[in-house]
Amino acid sequence: MPQLFETTSLGGMTLENRFVRSATWEGMAAEDGSCTAALVDITAELARGEIGLIISSHTFVSPEGRSSIGQLAGYDERFFDGLRQMVRAAHCHDSKIVLQLGHAGVRSPTLLTKQSAVGPSCQATAPGESARAMTLEEIDGLIRAFGDAAVRGKDAGFDGVQIHLAHGYLLSQFLSPYFNKRTDDYGGSVENRARIVLRILDQVRNSVGEGFPVLVKLNAEDFIDNGLTVEEMLQVSAMLEAAGIDGIELSGGTTDPAGDEHPVREGTPTTEAEEVYYRDHARQYKERIGVPLILVGGIRSYTVAEELIDSGLTDYVALCRPLIREPGLVARWKSGDTRPSECGSCAACLVPIRAGKGMYCVAARSA
């Protein structure tokens, strides 16, 4: 049996294979952030497609941290009845499911939240608008909000939680000198910038207890001037390791407050060699960090996924857009049809999501 399809244990969670559906905002939650039947159906389809682990889209842990329409809410118990259905859909087909917890920070649109955006520091956002720096009391409140959301997720049957530290959202903003200009205990050195993350991890761990997997998604680097560097990512990973994190997913790139994206790579990979966005970051991670690695970004071919696992470059292979294109991709590969994903990484699927029409593969529909 290929190592890709081995059963493994991640933080005590038994996974049927080494494929992970990376968190994907589908834009299909109800107006208030409740889970919908459409989201349950998507989860069931992914689980039928035999993904070992499904990571939910990012749920906002407090109302001012919402980033977008159609986003799942996790800040109140009333949202968890719907999320229980999602968990059942995953478990019916032997997939595990982890709840991603996040906060958009300075990227929370005031129009949507009806309150001013907050972040590590004051920051101009849209023309004429700015986010304000969080007070120490607000930081304490946020830490409790992550812990509370994690407990609700555990009670709803999720197999674990993932704290979103990537992509220029609030905790990524704290980690990044580009956003974080604080001069108190939460700014300056990398230890100070990581303080809020470590306090959240501690709160979540104390809230959910031992034996419940707690993962993070972290930027391999920010790809923005004065952003988080590779060396700092490694230092943060070492701090997370010392604090007992169960798994780290490496991603990358940042969206700045003006909405400009700073991805690792523009355009679409045309060769297998171009597929893995963070290959070199993963190599450096594996040299220094012992926590199981989930690698996401640009992986499109079975042969590449196999090589990543067999060479030990990563422990898990995560996919996002290929599973929008073809939710049954992993089952197809398992059946022996190992042709690559047809996803061309064009990112056009974000267009209908942002327009409030929900997620679908635009390229497939227009083919």
Ligand X SMILES: Cc1cc2nc3c(=O)[nH]c(=O)nc-3n(C[C@H](O)[C@H](O)[C@H](O)COP(=O)(O)O)c2cc1C
Instruction: Tell me which residues touch ligand SF4 (CB under 6 A).
Output: 321, 324-325, 343-349, 361-364
Q: Which does 25 bind (CB under 5 to 8 A by kind): ligand SF4, ligand X, none?
A: ligand X
Min dist. Cβ of residue 344 to ligand SF4 (A): 5
User: Which one of 139-147, 149-157, 160-168, 303-311 is the stretch in contact with ligand X (CB under 6 A)?
Assistant: 160-168
Min dist. Cβ of residue 323 to ligand SF4 (A): 8
Min dist. Cβ of residue 353 to ligand X (A): 6
Site string for ligand X, 139-158 (x = CB under 6 A): --------------------
3-state secondary structure 219-288: ECCCCCCCCCCHHHHHHHHHHHHHCCCCEEEEECCEECCCCCEECCCCCCCCCHHHCCCCHHHHHHHHHH
Q: Which does 174 bind (CB under 5 to 8 A by kind): ligand SF4, ligand X, none?
A: none
**24 is a contact residue toward ligand X (CB under 6 A):** yes
User: Site for ligand X (CB under 6 A): which residue of 17, 95, 100, 173?
Assistant: 100
By beta-carbon proximity to ligand SF4, the closer residue of 69 and 348 is: 348
User: Site for ligand X (CB under 6 A): which residue of 96, 164, 199, 281?
Assistant: 164
By beta-carbon proximity to ligand SF4, the closer residue of 226 and 268 is: 268
Min dist. Cβ of residue 277 to ligand X (A): 7
Q: Which does 297 bind (CB under 5 to 8 A by kind): ligand X, ligand SF4, none?
A: ligand X
- Taken in order 49, 53, 57, 61, the sign of the CA dihedral is positive
Spatial neighbors of 112 by CB under 8 A, at least 6 apart, are: 66, 68, 69
Site string for ligand X, 268-307 (x = CB under 6 A): ----------------------------xxx---------
Min dist. Cβ of residue 211 to ligand X (A): 24
How many CB atoms are located within 10 Å of the residue 127 CB?
6
By beta-carbon proximity to ligand SF4, the closer residue of 241 and 342 is: 342
User: Site for ligand X (CB under 6 A): which residue of 22, 68, 85, 301?
Assistant: 22
By beta-carbon proximity to ligand X, the closer residue of 174 and 187 is: 174
Give Cα 338 to chain centroid, integer Å.
26
Q: Which does 164 bind (CB under 5 to 8 A by kind): ligand SF4, ligand X, none?
A: ligand X
Angle at 284 between CA 283 and CA 288, to 5 degrees: 120
Min dist. Cβ of residue 366 to ligand SF4 (A): 9
Q: Which does 57 bind (CB under 5 to 8 A by kind): ligand X, ligand SF4, none?
A: ligand X
Please classify residue 299 by burial: count the beta carbons closer than 10 Å to its beta carbon, then call 0-12 exposed, 13-18 middle and 19+ buried: buried
Q: Which does 363 bind (CB under 5 to 8 A by kind): ligand SF4, ligand X, none?
A: ligand SF4
d(C-alpha 103, C-alpha 197), whole Å: 12
**208 is a contact residue toward ligand X (CB under 6 A):** no
d(C-alpha 160, C-alpha 96), whole Å: 9
User: Site for ligand X (CB under 6 A): which residue of 57, 85, 172, 254?
Assistant: 57
- The long-range contacts involving 85-90, CB below 8 angstroms and separated by at least 24 positions, are 85/35, 85/37, 85/40, 86/35, 86/39, 86/40, 86/43, 86/56, 87/156, 87/157, 87/158, 88/157, 89/40, 89/41, 89/43, 89/44, 89/47, 90/43, 90/44, 90/46, 90/47, 90/54
Roughly how many angstroms between the first and final C-alpha of the chain, as a whole number? 36
Q: Are 39 and 3 in contact (CB under 8 A)?
A: no
Spatial neighbors of 22 by CB under 8 A, at least 6 apart, are: 55, 217, 249, 251, 294, 296, 318, 319, 320
Give the binding site for ligand X (CB under 6 A): 22-25, 57-58, 100, 164, 166-167, 217, 251, 296-298, 319-322, 347, 349-350, 353
